Amino acid sequence: MNKLKKLLERCKCGVYLTINEHRDDYQSAKRSLNYKDEMDCPPEIEPEVRQKMIDTDTIICCQFYPDTPIGSYEVYHYDLDKCLEECLNCLNLNT
């Protein structure tokens, strides 16, 4: 919770955390990630992380706006703690 608290304190605008949203549509993680790959601006996900997301059928996404309502970051992972750690690293707020 400390990492989430740090992120919330740092962001001047919204922080959105979604976990396993793909399951709401009865999709597998693999299918959902393949769909995201077809978007105009697909997320950058390391191959090892992507494979673990597929293996565990877990997609965690944190989108956050640190300074303005139009400038955001989006981090994908299979582990909530590691996802939040990456978010803080984006802002140079190492844990």
The pLDDT tens digits for 11-51 are 999 999 999 999 999 999 999 999 988 877 888 999 999 99
Q: Is residue 26 part of a domain?
A: yes
> Which structural domain range is residue 82 located in?
2-90
Identify whether 53 is part of a domain. Answer: yes
How many domains does the chain fold into? 1
pLDDT in tens, 57-93: 999 999 999 999 999 999 999 999 999 999 999 998 7
pTM for the structure as a whole: 0.90
CB atoms within 10 A of CB 3: 18
Structural domain includes residue 30: yes
95 domain residue, yes or no: no
Query: Which token pair is 66?
Result: 């640190």
CA distance 61 to 74: 7
Residue 86 inside a domain? The answer is yes
Domain assignment present for 25: yes
2: Cβ contacts below 8 Å, ≥ 6 apart: 95
